[in-house]
């Protein structure tokens, strides 16, 4: 049973999201086709799809809603993951030869640059990956040890938070009673949909994982989610660091050590994102502060980094300068706005507000008015979400 549950966890938390990420990978520039970004994109798509299915089931299905939601979501995730893997296999079988490393065929962005590429004037060295020196590898080792320590502590320590008796019980109710927010978590009495909390379906996403893996939802929330979500937050900070530090990639592990120490020592009050990340990891608001907001900032660092890029670099990075590849950040922002809704109803407003501010700055910097329609399209999910929120 334990082995089956462990396999199911690997399937639903790694294999399926990676497959889904391969679908988004198709529209990314080559340098961004890394395993880390693929993983993040997979979750972005997974959360976005769950948002649509869960809210529809919650509003439209009066009895046994969660079971139907689980069947629908599992089917769609499965189809998307299989489509992702199938399309990738189709794509790489054309390029495959025995001398090439299969991993780099799937994730070409992770390939270390060759010396001749680095001295070529036709490449953007800022986005290329170099071989790390031994010293940098030691720093990576230190960072890895800090993260490992944090993950061990997440398992052996049990932070108390009163809100768990709402959010964690919502997950468990879905798993045990097959309901979606129609039983009061505190007492167990029937209740009408509390729309302020109901639209934020992240506890139900956790319940989905719990149900598919046959593990108690409280164990999934308290013990398993930190093992997934804390490294995921670091992945976003890592991508931010790659852009911020540019060619000085030797500084990235040092930057990540600082980030991990800040996460551990950021408990200066009960309000900081770091406190939420380490003590309330499984709650949607922690994900707003440590997934949605950093993701928005990373996407805009990427957009700013790409603007004013010479055409020849674009052509090289985007395999011919496809328009969809150039606009991949806006597509991801669209999905992020969908995903933000599952975390918290405030999260979707916060994410959109920050995206609005940064779009405004991007507009001023580039004086490219095509940004306005792109930004407006990317916030359509927010508009729909708020419309449902106020009309229910």
Partner 1 sequence: MYGIFMECWVIFKLYGGNGYLLALFVASLIYLLIAEKDNRKRLVIAVAPFMVIVGFFIPYTRIAYVAVLSDGGDTYYRIMWLIPMGACIAYTGCKLFMNHKRIGLIVVSVLIMLCGSIVYKNQYMYKAENAYHIPQVVVDVCDVISPGEDEPRVRAVFPSELLQFVRQYDTNILMPYGREMVVPQWDYYNAVHEVFEKPEVINAEKLLEATRLTQCRYIVLNESRKIDVALDEMGLTLVDNVGGYNIYEDPEYAQ
Residues 132-191 that bind partner 1 (CB under 8 A): 135, 139, 153, 155-162, 164-166, 168-169, 172-173, 176-177, 183-189
Burial class (CB in 10 A: 0-12, 13-18, 19+), 344: buried
37 binding partner 1? (CB under 8 A): no
Burial class (CB in 10 A: 0-12, 13-18, 19+), 178: middle
- Give the Cα-Cα-Cα angle 124, 129, 135 (nearest 5 degrees): 130
Which phi-psi region, left, alpha or beta, contains residue 321 (left: φ > 0; alpha: ψ -120 to 50)? Answer: left
Measured from the CB of residue 92, what is the shortest distance to partner 1 in angstroms?
34
Complex with partner 1: residue 144 or 159, whichever CB lies closer: 159
Query: Both tokens of residue 124?
Result: 């953007």
Q: At what angle do helices 16-25 and 35-60 cross, to 10 degrees?
A: 110
Span interacting with partner 1, options 17-25, 59-67, 197-205, 217-225, rule CB under 8 A:
217-225
Half-sphere exposure of 318 (CA within 13 A, CB side): 19
Rounded distance between C-alpha atoms, residue 134 and residue 131, angstroms: 9
Span interacting with partner 1, options 9-17, 40-48, 75-83, 289-297, rule CB under 8 A:
289-297
Applying CB under 8 A, what is the total number of residues that bind partner 1? 84
Measured from the CB of residue 147, what is the shortest distance to partner 1 in angstroms?
14
Of 44, 207, 209, 301, the one binding partner 1 (CB under 8 A) is 301
Measured from the CB of residue 361, what is the shortest distance to partner 1 in angstroms?
5
- Give the Cα-Cα-Cα angle 255, 256, 262 (nearest 5 degrees): 95
- Residues 268 to 287 in contact with partner 1, rule: CB under 8 A: 268-269, 271-275, 278-279, 285
Of 216, 313, 322, 384, the one binding partner 1 (CB under 8 A) is 216
Measured from the CB of residue 56, what is the shortest distance to partner 1 in angstroms?
24
Q: Can you give the C-alpha Rg of the chain in angstroms?
A: 21
- Residues 344 to 363 in contact with partner 1, rule: CB under 8 A: 346, 350, 353-354, 357-358, 361-362
Contact map string, positions 324 to 343, toward partner 1, x by CB under 8 A? --------------------
Rounded distance between C-alpha atoms, residue 235 and residue 150, angstroms: 15
Span interacting with partner 1, options 29-37, 57-65, 81-89, 219-227, rule CB under 8 A:
219-227
Span interacting with partner 1, options 30-38, 84-92, 264-272, 335-343, rule CB under 8 A:
264-272
């Amino acid at each position: 049973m334990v082995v089956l549950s462990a396999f199911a966890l690997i399937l639903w938390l790694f294999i399926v999201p990676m497959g889904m990420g391969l679908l988004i990978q198709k529209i990314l520039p080559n340098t961004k086709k890394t395993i880390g970004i693929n993983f993040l994109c997979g979750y972005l798509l997974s959360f976005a799809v769950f948002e649509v299915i869960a809210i529809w089931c919650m509003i439209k299905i009066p009895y046994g809603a969660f079971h139907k939601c689980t069947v629908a979501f599992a089917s769609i995730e499965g189809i998307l993951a299989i489509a992702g893997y199938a399309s990738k296999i189709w794509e790489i079988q054309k390029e495959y030869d025995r001398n090439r490393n299969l991993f780099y065929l799937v994730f070409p962005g992770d390939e270390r640059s060759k010396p001749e590429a680095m001295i070529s004037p036709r490449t953007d060295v800022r986005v290329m990956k170099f071989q790390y020196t031994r010293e940098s590898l030691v720093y990576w080792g230190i960072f890895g040890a800090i993260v490992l320590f944090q993950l061990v502590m997440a398992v052996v320590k049990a932070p108390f938070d009163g809100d768990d008796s709402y959010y964690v019980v919502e997950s468990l109710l879905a798993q045990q009673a097959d309901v979606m927010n129609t039983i009061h978590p505190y007492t167990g009495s029937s209740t009408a949909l509390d729309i302020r909390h109901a639209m934020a379906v992240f506890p139900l996403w956790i319940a989905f994982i719990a149900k598919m893996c046959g593990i108690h939802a409280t164990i999934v929330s308290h013990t398993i989610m930190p093992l997934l979500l804390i490294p995921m937050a670091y992945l976003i900070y890592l991508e931010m660091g790659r852009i911020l530090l540019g060619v000085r990639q030797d500084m990235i592990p040092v930057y990540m050590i600082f980030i991990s120490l800040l996460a551990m020592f950021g408990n200066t009050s009960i309000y900081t994102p770091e406190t939420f990340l380490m003590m309330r990891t499984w709650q949607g608001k922690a994900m707003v502060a440590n997934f949605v907001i950093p993701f928005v900032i990373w996407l805009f660092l990427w957009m700013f980094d790409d603007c004013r890029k010479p055409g020849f670099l674009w052509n090289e990075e985007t395999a011919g300068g496809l328009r969809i590849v150039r606009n991949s950040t806006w597509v991801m922002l669209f999905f992020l706005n969908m995903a933000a809704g599952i975390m918290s109803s405030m999260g979707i407003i916060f994410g959109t507000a920050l995206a609005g501010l940064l779009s405004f700055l991007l507009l001023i910097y580039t004086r490219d008015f095509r940004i306005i329609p792109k930004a407006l399209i990317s916030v359509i999910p927010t508009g729909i979400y708020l419309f449902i929120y106020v009309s229910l």
